[in-house]
Amino acid sequence: MKKKILLLATGGTIASLLSDHGLRPGLNAEQILSFIPEIREECDVDAVQVCNIDSTNMSPEIWKQIVCAIEAKYLYYDGFVVCHGTDTMAYTSAALSYMIQNSNKPIVITGSQKPISEDSTDAKLNLLDCIRYAADNASVGVVLVFNGNVIAGTRAKKTYAHSYNAFSSVNFPTLAVIRERRIIRFISQAPFTEPVRFGHRLDDSIVVLKLIPGTKPELVEYLFGHYDCLVIESFGVGGIPDGLREVFYQQMERWISRGKIVVIATQVANEGSNMEVYEVGQQVKQDFHLMEAYDMTLEATITKLMYLMGTYGRDYVSVCDGFYKTINYDILMPSVQ
């Protein structure tokens, strides 16, 4: 019996057509499917249009629409494929990992570097790989499939702007590869024992401060005052520069009791943070018990905080406990805290 797969289209390069002002999404979900008619021999594929945008315009509200669309059809399909633009695809794959948990039905995100209507496109193979992966009995959870690589939804990062191998799995092995229709699994994923859970609340009062040499102290003060969660992308393994320390301490003492959340991450893509290494990080963490991203991607850090803040509000203890709970392979170093 053929598996039933639902394709959810959101626009992106895969759906784009050339206009007078450059590429813009123009194909709908059914039109995208028409470029791979052979898949109908393998699966029963239906399609819905969630939106039709350049992924630069992706937002938490559209993530909620995607989740609602999957939840509404969850009982009727064996797997789900989300067509998406590449620029924010890593954010969406991470967000869906938190908003849809314990899914024994695969939720697979893909896209392309060239429109599906072009002769030299990578879209057809990516889409075929995705649908075949979603139809496989051993597939579960949220993953991103691109250029034959199957990446955990929380570990994907776009690392190439134009190349077909656009996405890398950061600080975690690739789950599987797909070669000539064959799925070669490196990590076997056991079925979930808890029921699937859908979450719809996100709090986007969050901002990222990427430190540069000479960052002005008044910027720190402004961000503390206008956002409920501040993610600081620090240098190396993590720390607060001496030039920012006085205002940082002042702001932490003022705001931490009111539920403001601060997370230290690193600008370095691989191997993660560890504030215990240097004095510039260790003392600050001890004084304020800061949360730390460790080996998480920035995309996972941001979307996980949105989800936790939407779930627990300003309950710092609950947000902190949830942040260090591993979901879809997102963090492997909670014992260091």
Banded pLDDT at 286 (limits 50, 70, 90): low
Q: Which of 10, 13, 88, 92 is catalytic?
A: 13
Q: Is 193 a catalytic residue?
A: no
Q: What pLDDT sits at residue 315?
A: 86
Strands 79-83 and 107-110: parallel
**Contacts by residues 68-73 (CB-CB < 8 Å, ≥ 24 positions apart):** 68/200, 69/8, 70/6, 70/8, 70/100, 70/107, 70/198, 71/100, 71/198, 73/6, 73/48
pLDDT at 245 over 50: yes
Q: Which residues touch 319 (CB under 8 Å, ≥6 apart)? A: 261, 305, 308, 309, 312
Domains and CATH numbers, the chain: 3-198 (3.40.50.1170), 206-336 (3.40.50.40)
Lowest mean pLDDT among 15-19, 135-139, 312-316: 15-19
Could you report the per-residue pLDDT of 64-115, keeping only the tens digit for each?
999 999 999 999 999 999 999 999 999 999 999 999 999 999 999 999 999 9
pLDDT at 327: 96
The model's confidence at residue 198, banded by pLDDT at 50, 70 and 90, is very high
pLDDT at residue 284 greater than cutoff 70: no
Specify which residues 178 forms β-bridges with.
183
pLDDT average, residue stretch 125-144: 97
Tens digits of residue pLDDT in 176-186: 999 999 999 99
